[in-house]
Amino acid sequence: MGAQKKGATARVSEDQEELARNPLQAILLADSFATTFRPITLERPKVLLPLVNIPMIDYTLAWLESAGVEEVFVFCCAHSKQVIDYLESSQWSSQPNFSVTTIESHNSISAGDALRLIYERNVIHGDFVLISGDTMSNMSLTQVLQEHKERRKKDANAIMTMVIKKSKPSPITQQSRLGTDELFMAINPVTKQLLCYEDKAERSKGFISLDKTLIADNPSIILHNDKQDCYIDVCSQEVLSLFTDNFDYQHLRRHFVKGLLVDDIMGYKIFTHEIHSSYAARIDNFRSYDTISKDIIQRWTYPFVPDILCGSSAIKVERQGAYRASDVTLSRSAHIGSFTFIGQGTKIGNDTKISHSVVGEGCTIGSNVTIEGSYIWNNVTIEDGCQLRHAIVCDGVIMRSGAVLQPGVILSFKVVVGQQFVVPAYSKVSLLQQPTQQDSDEELEYADNTSGTGELRYKLNGDIATDLSETAYELGTGGVGYIWSVFEGAQDEEWKHSVAPIPTDKLVKLMLDKDEDEEQLTQDGNVLSASGELKADSDDNGSEDDDNADSRDDYGFFEKEVEATFLRAVHENVKVDHAVLEVNALRLSYNMASVDCAGAIFYSMMKLAVESPHHSASELHRNAADIITKWQKLLKSFLHDIDEEIEVILKFEEMCLESAKEFAALFPQVLHLLYDKEILQEDAILRWADEKEGADESDKVFLKSSEKFVQWLKEAEEEDEDD
Amino acid sequence: MDFQVVVLAGGNSKKLTPLISKDVPKPLLPVANRPLLYYVLHQLRESNLKDLIVVVEGEDAALHVGSWISKTFVDGLHVKIAAVPEDIGTAGALRAISHHLTAKDILVVSGDLVSDVPPGAVAATHRRHDAAVTAMLCSVPVSGSLESGSSGGKDKTKKPGRYNIIGLDPCKQFLLHIATGSEIEKDSRLQKRILHAVGQMEIRSDLMDAHMYAFKRSVLQEVLDHKDTFQSLKQDVVPYLVRSQLKSEALLNGISQAEENGNEKLSSPNNQVLDSKILANASTPSFHELYSMEPDGSAQTRKTHKCCAYIASSSSYCVRLNSIQAFMDINRDVTGDADHLLSDTSSDRDNIIGPSPKLGSKTTVGPHCMLGEGSEIGDKCQVKRSVIGRHCRIGSHVKIVNSVVMNHVTIGDGCIIQGSVVCSNVQLQERVVLKDCLVGAGFVVTMGNEYKGESLARKEK
């Protein structure tokens, strides 16, 4: 009886535990750790950028509140002061049952760092929602949370549920309508487990590889090309500790998700939840800014639309999606087209045409202005006769009369465009100079707004005023601002993520390219699978050949790299130790053996000797001797045993036959030299001689030429033995 | 129906020695007392597909098979027997008989398929989609459904080569990817182009290509003519067609069209185009059409052909007899769970015993057994889960479990036969014990011998 009672109480307490569940928590990353919104994000954090006149973070917070989240931790890093100030002054600081806490960091450079910091703070006590502050959604979290919890009960390794949504990428650009690259996901249709996540699929390849073990483990897999990652994740606490354990995880998807999928030791699993009717999207680039703005205006995100979110400020929605604040001064002859938002206190002059655009608060727009598909933020002055097509114009910009913005232009804060000046398409204009250190490099992408901005802002506040007056004439007479140059290589890409729609000529070109590509790919495909079409044994041969070709190629690259390293070492007088280190690093990265290193270094040395000026064989010999003397240590550090030494001799032979025939005559001398310098031991030379003994006549040329030397070595050895 | 059926009956198979020999080619190997080929031909007749070409490897075997068919299917089937040389592969065999093919669509069936999937349904699917190729897919058989479940599991790990990796569209109508043979062992490479066109692809490893295909004749002949290295339908031709479905090679369509025009004597090429357009409009456009419509939605700029899949329901029976294990399984299944395949032998009980059996006293014949006509069994014998052929003479105190005994076999008193196959005209003298053995035709096992896991056969003279 007593035992029973005990059991009963235990059950009650369990129930209570469940009843007194932890409040639902969310982590909101108010930093994208990316540079896609530069130059705007140099001056203002991305989450505070207005989206149809309301800062992005407000949409996110409003959704979280409505979805039942009770505690939000806003992680701010770049411009953290601005974010904190904004949140403190906003409605969010005083909501009942919805607490917003900020966590500030100054040295986080990635989402990984942020989560590690949050883990240290020890504020998360259960499952939480992980999103970034630029996510729009109106989905209900109930179902996904429930699914996640149920899975967790059955399997403690199910630590994350990703929200996905159907969105088929364009067949031509292979881009989703949000401007993100196509994404391939393999999902088990029954369990919804995510098996493979490929967002950076190589375009050049015509196929997607699925690991055989995946197929062996799952009788049915659905490979999706028509889903979009909403970047809304329901995570368990373990996610935070995982980030702490794996200190090299930076990016949520690239490192964390892929890391978990690849790593089968821990057995952590990620699942997906597909939403069908609700909205969820993340502003990742200018194109998604454009798309999502349009979605909001067309009320896909209902109830998170401007007229409801703003509440008191009385925005009226008229027919055809025309949003207008109450006190807009509008000329009679001005024409406001469909799907357009006009903010409070904005004045619009005669015969001005605005369509599919957002105009913020307190703007002054002159007469005969054409605005199409553009986003004009607050307090912007646009004088008469300006034309704007598919541009983003930040706060305080002044466009002098007759200025033209071609599609895709971004004007950052307070830029002034001179009279009649035409800003070329896809330009990014800012009062700040482009940071000189460029982060086109993948790794540096995280080194975002944070480090650079501090200095830049300082400069802005300090002496930028004088700076500007002297140098910034790039925007015509009276214009102020720098036109940022586009990084090398990125030029072609600019149109892909711009606010402007993709121009038709690009599409046509892309399509032609694609057809051509496909032509090739089909051919490749045929080559690849031809092996499968033939008999099994020929198949094997084929793949072996492929492998060989690959490794040969690799070796070629490796050799070139080593040569370049060596030449640099010679010209810049790099210390031998450092050169050894560098070559070693190359060896590791190309997965070569030290035999290969020895061969490659020797090759580089001899090549250098041949290429340095010389007039006779003896001079060449001297060159070689000099180089060998100087760099013998480098070479020796890769000669650990006889095999490697033999490789050097073989390499030398090969060179004498092919690339550096001049050495042919000097073969015995150089061999002797190498022996004298103790680079080659006599054993190595003798073994080489032995090996060559049985070779073809043609192969024995060099053996013959160095016969005397070999003979001498042999005798010396015998003498040694005699002693 | 304008469908021609090619039955690739085979002839010799090394995998099945010593069960088959010169006198008993593979198509005539008795399975539950009927030649293997019977099962396919029976299904074809049921589906009203009566225009057949049976392709047999080797002239002698062809004669044997021909005489059997003419005896058995006197009425109803128009069968042409074609002999082809051995080892030219399935594609090679089709190439060899290509001149016999005249119908618009060709159904190619492997002669060793024991299945209750109606071939007519495959043909209908093919016609409905106007496909270039339609492949019948069935669930991977779990060999040893009842007793040898564990051995089935072993099978899986032993030879995953039986499996295919198959990619299907969301409606499971189109075949988007197929990998066979050694490719299964590697990582799968899925064509992006097809993925782009379809959006999502289901990758199944629990389906098997049952080697029943419907081809458009023009396409088949094109491929056979132009790709003369292709040897196998399953490994070469079908994967090739699947792979190139969104990029039909120019020669494929161009020439075939020209040829068609030639055949039609230029009578109505325009009508044909019209017809196909009307057909295309009638149904919702498949991704093939959508793909070929791009970009302006009007001109068919890209050539595509459709590869369809007919997926047999998981309850249907579908096994290929291509190994000894499969032979044993099929014998067991046909007398047991899948006895509907023997449609004309009606039996109320759970075993099938031919007319006028002569059973001795205290002899029991258990369920899932078959006893051919004219066979005699002595006293106190036990027969469990076994098939016994016609005109066998079995002595007393004999125990036969999980075995197949073919025709005209003499078994002496006190023999114990377990898990073995005993071919025709074998003589087992008294007290022979066979466990997991194969005994080739005409072999004589002398008195009192015990064998375990061996293959016994007469030396070829």
More reliable by pLDDT, B144 or A128: A128
Task: Examine the pLDDT at A669 and tell me if it is beyond 90.
Answer: no
Tell me how close the Cα of B233 comes to any Cα of chain A, in angstroms: 10
Range list of H helices, B244-398: 250-263, 269-282, 287-293, 324-335
Contact A357, A342 (CB under 8 A): no
Task: Examine the pLDDT at B266 and tell me if it is beyond 70.
Answer: no
- Cα B368 to chain centroid distance, Å, stands at 23
Average pLDDT over residues B372-379: 86
Q: How confident is the model at residue B5 (pLDDT cuts 50, 70, 90)?
A: very high
Q: What pLDDT is recorded for position B290?
A: 63
* Helix, strand, coil percentages for chain B (3-state, nearest 5): 30, 25, 40
DSSP letter for B339, please. Answer: G
Residues in chain A: 723
| A610 in reach of chain B (CB within 8 A) | no
Q: What single-letter amino acid sits at A173?
A: T
Q: What pLDDT is recorded for position B448?
A: 87
Q: Identify all chain B residues contacting A182, using CB atoms and an 8 Å cutoff.
A: 196
Q: How confident is the model at residue A498 (pLDDT cuts 50, 70, 90)?
A: confident
Neighbour count for residue A686 (Cβ, 10 Å): 15
Q: How far apart are the first and last CA of chain B?
A: 48
Out of A70-74, A102-106, A253-257, B9-13, pick the least confident. B9-13
Return d(Cα B312, Cα B292) in angstroms, integer.
Answer: 29
Average pLDDT over residues A566-590: 81
Contact state of A219 with B204 under an 8 Å Cβ cutoff: yes
Contact A106, A93 (CB under 8 A): no
Q: How confident is the model at residue B215 (pLDDT cuts 50, 70, 90)?
A: very high
**Residues of B engaging A, defined by a Cβ cutoff of 8 Å:** 160, 165, 167, 181-193, 195-206, 227, 229-231, 235-236, 239-240, 243-244, 247, 291, 294-295
Backbone angles phi, psi at A673, to 5 degrees: -55, -45
Q: What pLDDT is recorded for position A28?
A: 93
Bridge partners of B435?
B418, B452
Q: What is the dihedral of CA B426, B430, B436, B440, to 10 degrees?
A: -10
Q: What pLDDT is recorded for position B355?
A: 66
Q: Which residue of A has its CA nearest to B227?
A: A533
Contact B453, B435 (CB under 8 A): yes
Out of A323-332, B8-17, B47-56, pick the least confident. B8-17
**Which of A114, A41, A134, A107 shows the shortest CA–CA distance to A449?**
A41
Q: Encode pLDDT of B28-50 as tens digits.
A: 888 888 889 988 988 888 888 88
Q: What pLDDT is recorded for position A31?
A: 84
> Could you tell me which residues come within 8 angstroms of residue A594 by beta carbon, excluding any fewer than 6 positions away?
A587, A638, A639, A640, A644
| A510 in reach of chain B (CB within 8 A) | no
Tell me how close the Cα of B92 comes to any Cα of chain A, in angstroms: 13
Checking ipTM against 0.85, whether it exceeds it is no
> Could you tell me which residues come within 8 angstroms of residue B451 by beta carbon, excluding any fewer than 6 positions away?
B432, B433, B434, B435, B437, B445
Contact state of B295 with A168 under an 8 Å Cβ cutoff: no
Q: What single-letter amino acid sits at A478?
A: G
Return d(Cα B24, Cα B426) in angstroms, integer.
Answer: 14
Contact B376, B392 (CB under 8 A): yes
Average pLDDT over residues A188-200: 88
Backbone angles phi, psi at B65, to 5 degrees: -65, -40
Average pLDDT, chain B: 78
Q: What pLDDT is recorded for position B346?
A: 47
Contact B334, B341 (CB under 8 A): yes
Return d(Cα A170, Cα A177) in angstroms, integer.
Answer: 7
DSSP letter for A181, please. Answer: B
Highest mean pLDDT among A171-185, A193-207, A273-287, B284-298: A273-287
| A190 in reach of chain B (CB within 8 A) | no
More reliable by pLDDT, A5 or A399: A399
Q: How confident is the model at residue A658 (pLDDT cuts 50, 70, 90)?
A: confident
**Which of B31, B326, B273 shows the shortest CA–CA distance to B162?**
B326
Task: Examine the pLDDT at B12 and tell me if it is beyond 70.
Answer: yes
In this structure, is the dihedral angle defined by the CA atoms of residues B42, B48, B50 and B51, taken in order, positive or negative? negative
Which of B139, B187, B198 to probe by mutation at the A interface, max A CB count within 10 Å?
B187
Q: How confident is the model at residue B283 (pLDDT cuts 50, 70, 90)?
A: very low
Decide the pairing of beta strands B421-422 and B438-439.
Answer: parallel
Task: Examine the pLDDT at A121 and tell me if it is beyond 60.
Answer: yes
Question: Can you list the positions of beta strands (E) in A457-553?
Answer: 482-484
| A218 in reach of chain B (CB within 8 A) | yes
On the question of a cis peptide bond just before residue B141, with omega within 30 degrees of 0, the verdict is no
Out of A290-299, A547-556, A693-702, pick the least confident. A547-556
Q: What pLDDT is recorded for position A679?
A: 80
Percentage of chain A exceeding pLDDT 70: 82
Strand, coil or helix: what is A18?
helix
**Which of A555, A550, A537 shows the shortest CA–CA distance to A593?**
A555
Structure tokens at A542: 């084929």
Task: Examine the pLDDT at B360 and tell me if it is beyond 60.
Answer: yes
Q: How confident is the model at residue B253 (pLDDT cuts 50, 70, 90)?
A: very low
Tell me how close the Cα of B147 comes to any Cα of chain A, in angstroms: 24
- Cα A694 to chain centroid distance, Å, stands at 56
Task: Examine the pLDDT at B379 and tell me if it is beyond 70.
Answer: yes
Buried b (16+ CB within 10 A) or exposed e, B94-109: bbbbeeebeeebbbbb
**Which of A65, A190, A227, A55 shows the shortest CA–CA distance to A140?**
A65
Of A172, A507, A532, the CB nearest to B183: A532
Q: How confident is the model at residue A722 (pLDDT cuts 50, 70, 90)?
A: low
Q: What is the dihedral of CA B166, B167, B169, B173, to 10 degrees?
A: -20
Average pLDDT over residues A274-283: 91
Contact state of A539 with B295 under an 8 Å Cβ cutoff: no
Return d(Cα A84, Cα A69) in angstroms, integer.
Answer: 20
Task: Examine the pLDDT at A200 and tell me if it is beyond 50.
Answer: yes
Contact state of A211 with B187 under an 8 Å Cβ cutoff: yes
Q: What single-letter amino acid sits at A424?
A: P
For A61, A664, B5, B211, B339, the CA distances from B44, given in Å and listed in that order, are: 66, 77, 9, 15, 18
Contact state of A521 with B294 under an 8 Å Cβ cutoff: no
Token pair 């680079």 is found at A679
